[in-house]
Chain A
């Protein structure tokens, strides 16, 4: 029986999977998925980077993450419940990642080096935020630092 999932709606792949089964959806480690339904050890859903291709994948390959579901049913929207600053850094890092690669091809050495360094700083700070070992005060300070860097980068 395939049953729509209620809370298990969002997760990240913890291993690469070729998707070598009927209706299989191949996954790469780190890829995020949205889940529609489940049946005996399988989920069916799609990768958030290509929502139009649906397929099934083993539940054991997915680490579930908290999320908020709106408009439950056929046209539901799923929003991961993440710290907004963490979310923002993720989006910014991915966006800058593309720009950074362009800077590389264009041989903008100085900009390439500088942006690379800032990205590595952001990665480390984001990691500290996610690890959850910081106190409230430290978290606040770190967020300020991150936001300042992002502002710098966007200029």
Chain B
């Protein structure tokens, strides 16, 4: 079957209402118009140009065009329908001239068809969109018909064929009124979506939407159905995104009020509505935009003239030390001493501690927030460290600056929301000042970790990296739902937990590395040297020799009779002879000789001549089969497994064969893994690539600077 030749022909079925379906061979090389003509002929339909093919439900009932016809596969079921152009014409006709019922029906059809690009183009070209806009402006429709009208509008606009700038003020006012008054969910959700698009895409529209939609009316929608909630948050996000910094702040202030927060908390976070991907994305955007308000402080250095900043620094000092009753009248020297106790880097002028950005002034804001709102924890932390006599005190000032920097980095403060982002932290919807509260929890954690590590000021960076890890893990999946939960999670992640986790990661990386290609190559390269070492060891063992118990030719142990075998130091001759239980005869004392060259083979276990007669063969028996005529074999039984392994390995080595004992495997493994570790000492902590790095093109010339000849 020449399958290749016919690959452009697919076998499909075509249906049509009230007609018998046709099975046809759809030729991808034939123009669509021709295929439709043939189908029309089959059903006796005139005017084939009024028809078009459509995909079935699996493909959203899209019209088939020359562009998407490749999606038709063997076994597809298509429908023959009136063409988009004819359908658009019919709908428009009904909308203009039909009675109320016909209009409603036409609008319903329109909302279903508008998502199709081909149809939308035809409809818009026939001034359909203009009609729809008018219908919305004049506001004759209500209820379901209105919902279909708005939905059709959204779908038609989604194709990006027409600019959002064509909309006039009346239209926006009308749509805004749908948002501001109670309507069916479908109407509200479509109206919200239209306004979101207006805010984001139209040059003029933002100002009007911002004026006409009080934030309170959006907040009201947060307790509606999930899609309405989602669209309401999307519109809030769009408004936040377009607002200038003043408006954004006032908007944010409304959003962080308890009323709005509890609305989000009760109707979105706790109902599971936040689990949907789109809702998660909108909440992520909202969180990013709200946290983004901190950016300005984060990138602002403290100005030496900044009176507010200086006041805050003084207040930090006062809250910490004035309760001691020692405040005031101690002069500038006393101030410096106190600033040192507060752990500032620049104890003479702490303002300099806030000149690095990030975190800039945001760090000072967080510190003063901590001191004002949690004065007990604050004074405890500062006094505990300033009273330590040793070098283990944790510098509050320096630690705070670093911690705020870490938090800004982890929470990506100042980054614009990304299209794909969907990870949000529910706890940021639980407090007026969630960031500052996070700081308060984490600075206490930092102090605790510092103590656990018995750190000194030289360890500052290490403590910071441990704290960073603790925060990352505490905020990880599943994210804590409240500040309280964050606190609890952090409590359980002690310093020793973190080091254990690091240790585990290191071990698994090492495990991975031992299988990494370059290391496997290195092992293979070193293996022959190591095997040679094992061979030397085995031969040295043979040179030292072994005392064997004598066995009869029938494999019976002979009591109190022994003999000794040893290899000559030049590895050429085996010397053997009788001995007693205790003696270790020298080579000269052994009368019999056997040249290594005469050994034909090594036999073990059952193969041994002296074991043939026995029913159960001896595990430790081995024989040297010989070439010579007068003696056929030298038969031995080793006293233990190790001796057996060493002798068989040694003989195999002498015969130039592979050493097969499991002792060889074990020794090879021990020696090789140590050797690899020693070879890689200088690569410790360096990441080893899995694949070879790229090789650059050859150098253009070889005129080296250092040519030492």
Contacts and interface: CB of A to CB of B under 8 A. Distances in A.
Contacts of B697: 40-41
Contacts of B667: 104
Interface size class of A (residues with CB under 8 A): 35 or more
A44 interface: yes
B619 interface: no
Contacts of A54: 706, 708
Contacts of A59: 696
A105 B530 CA distance: 11
Interface stretch (B219-227, B287-295, B448-456, B632-640): B448-456
A97 interface: yes
Interface string B132-163: 00000000000000000000000000000000
Contacts of B2: none
Contacts of A21: 695, 698
A28 B522 contact: yes
Interface string A99-139: 01100111100000000100110010011001111111110
A113 B706 CA distance: 47
A144 interface: no
Contact of B706 (A15, A40, A74): A74
Interface string A5-18: 00000001111110
B458 interface: yes
A4 B707 CA distance: 12
Contacts of A131: 502, 506, 685
Contacts of B706: 4, 36-37, 44, 54, 74
B521 interface: yes
Most buried by A among B525, B533, B699: B699
B682 interface: yes
Contacts of A16: 518, 521-522, 525
Contacts of A116: 670, 674
B693 A58 contact: yes
A56 interface: yes
B693 A14 contact: yes
Given A22-B698, A60-B695, A135-B462, A29 B681 contact: no
Contacts of A12: 682-683, 686
Among B682, B686, B689, the one with the most A-chain Cβ atoms within 10 Å of its Cβ is B682
Contacts of B704: 2, 36-37, 44
Interface string B102-136: 00000000000000000000000000000000000
Contact of A15 (B465, B693, B705): B693
Contact of A41 (B674, B678, B686, B696): B696
Nearest to A41: B696
A93 interface: yes
Contacts of B456: 135-137
Interface string A68-110: 0000001000000000000000100110010011001111000
B682 A107 contact: no
Contact of B705 (A32, A37, A126): A37
Interface in B666-700: 667, 670-671, 674-675, 677-689, 692-700
Given A30-B522, A135-B454, 19 more contacts: A2-B699, A12-B682, A14-B687, A16-B525, A29-B519, A32-B682, A59-B696, A60-B693, A94-B678, A100-B674, A104-B533, A105-B533, A105-B537, A105-B540, A116-B674, A131-B685, A135-B462, A136-B455, A138-B453
5 contacts: A4-B705, A28-B679, A29-B518, A29-B679, A40-B696
Closest 5 A-B residue pairs measured CB to CB?
Answer: A41-B696, A60-B693, A135-B459, A30-B680, A30-B679
